[in-house]
Amino acid sequence: MTLVPRHAPSSTLSRTLPLVVVITLFVATVAVAQPQPIDLGTLGGTTSTPAAINERSQVVGSSNGHAFLWTATTGMMDLGTPTSSFATAINNLGHVGGGVLSGDPFGTHPFLWTPEGGVVEIEPPHVSCCGSMVSAVNDVDQVVGTLDALIRPSRAFTWTSTGGMQTLGSLGCRFSKPRDPFLRTFSKPFPPLE
């Protein structure tokens, strides 16, 4: 006959209690930590409005009529557009899309800004424009946006530096407008349009 030693219940409890306490303290510590707001500042005026953030915590938006890029190391930086502007999108490379005021009354042209190239207005000059802007830009600098939202039915477009601008159609609707979640899920180029 083999005798198997039996542990007293207090012995089992004394071994599991420290584990429960450690887990509870870890969960309590995590649950108490709260994100702290960050004052992004302004570009010398009284207002700034953030519009988008990327995975590197870089923020874009508009401050006193100027598109900005904010990073934790540089703070708020004016993107240097020639006229009033606003930023609406940023990819994980820090490339920014938005709209810049054109010569037309109330008209904006979509733009892409990169640290290497500065501001590039991406709408062809022959297209009459009013209210056009970038909705999203992915990590291979494909841009989607809306053309002519204020003067005629708006049309979604895509743009690349090599392929130029293409309208995406409206699927039979009066207008079409791309949204960021569709584009952000792709870091590779879209297939060619047919």
pTM of structure: 0.69
**Tens digits of residue pLDDT in 1-31:** 555 555 545 555 455 444 444 444 444 455 5
> What is the rounded distance in angstroms from the CA atom of residue 178 to the CA atom of residue 87?
16
Q: Return the CATH number of 49-183, one of 3.30.465.10, 2.30.42.10, 3.80.30.20, 2.130.10.150.
A: 2.130.10.150
pLDDT in tens, 31-64: 577 888 889 999 998 999 999 999 999 999 999 9
The domain segmentation of the chain, as residue ranges, is 49-183
